[in-house]
Amino acid sequence: MKPLFLHVWNYSKEQFRWQLYLPIALFLLVIFSFNYSLDFEDAYIDTIRNYPGRALAYMAFLVIPFLFAAYCISKVNKADFLGKREFWLKVIIAFTALGLYRAIALEGAFCQWLEMDGCRFVWRVLRRFNRLILFFIPLLIFWPKDRKHLNSFYGMKFKWESFKMYFPLLGIMILIIGLASFAEQFQTYYPLYAKSGSARFIKETGIPEWLAVLIFESAYGFNYLSIEFFFRGFLIYSFVRLLGPEVVLPMVCTYAALHFGKPFLEAFSSIFGGYILGVLALRTENIWGGVLLHAGIALLMEFFAWLH
């Protein structure tokens, strides 16, 4: 726990400047207020029926926080990366992939094609892998150039010393999530398995429920590999040469916006969680601890929701 704390403490002590952190904090306050007072993502973006239009709306919704924080960094540091072609190419391709993923709503078409009563469950398992495929595209495009400056493929090299420091933090999260699970908003949203359509799938296939739970929760946990791969892998390691160590801040802003469809407390806590995971990924040059922590927290939420 101490090495983990020291990484975050030393980074914050070295990089904190109110000229940078204050406008970003105020911006996050504004977009949180805007989204949760109007239920903007669910009530407006999600209701766009046209897929290209919905993908474009999600792209804009998620790229604006990133660009605002990047603009603040450029002004405070007097950096010129906003004028570089590489920066804009990476932003366009990365956020196009993110927008395309967030806009995917193919459950109806998939069920029409599969013609299976339990197709909803199958789709909700398979869609967890769509994100990894889409997020892998920017990494493959820019890896030939980025590899000259990185020690591994966007933090994928496993380091036990970096990995084990996350276990105490995961232990603390058990207590926090256990307490949060008593909130009505938490119990309304979780467990996601309950909304997966598993009952029809079990009835049609005859598999035991424990196996359906294992299939769904395994896919759900795997889903967080792609999240860490994109947010802590690509948005940190690929942009750090351009933005410098403050690269964590634009990533955090977009990461928080990604959570706007979830309960407010979970979305708000993602600011701090994203910051900690971003700092640790930057300092340890490794994302596997983040995968452990992120997937562990997600599965703990499912577990505690089951208990209620």
As a whole number, the mean pLDDT across the chain is 89
Q: Is the pLDDT reported for residue 1 higher than 70?
A: no
pLDDT tens per residue across span 221-269: 888 888 898 999 999 999 999 999 999 999 999 999 999 988 888 899 8
pLDDT recorded at residue 263: 84
Residue with tokens 């690269």: 247
Name every residue whose Cβ is closer than 8 Å to that of residue 246 and which is 6 or more positions away in sequence.
15, 20, 73, 77
Q: What pLDDT digit, counting tens, does each position of 53-86 carry?
A: 999 999 999 999 999 999 999 999 999 999 999 9
Question: For 177-199, what is each residue's pLDDT tens digit?
Answer: 888 888 887 888 888 898 888 88
Report whether 101 contacts 135 (CB < 8 A). Answer: yes
* Range 80-109 average pLDDT: 88
Q: How many domains does the chain have?
A: 1
Which range of 78-92, 112-126, 199-213 scores highest in mean pLDDT? It is: 78-92
Q: What is the mean pLDDT of residues 171-181?
A: 87
Tell me, what's the pLDDT at 176? 87
pLDDT at 305 exceeding the cut of 90: no
Q: What is the percent of the chain with per-residue pLDDT over 70, rounded to a whole number?
A: 99
Which residues contact residue 118 at a Cβ distance below 8 angstroms, ignoring those fewer than 6 apart? 197, 198, 200, 201, 202, 203, 204, 205
Q: Assess whether pLDDT exceeds 80 at residue 203.
A: yes
Residue 180 belongs to what domain range? 2-307
Alpha carbon distance 297, 170 (integer Å):
7
| pTM of the entire predicted model | 0.88
Average pLDDT score over residue span 117-137: 83
Residue 290 has pLDDT above 70, yes or no: yes
Report the pLDDT averaged over residues 86-107.
88
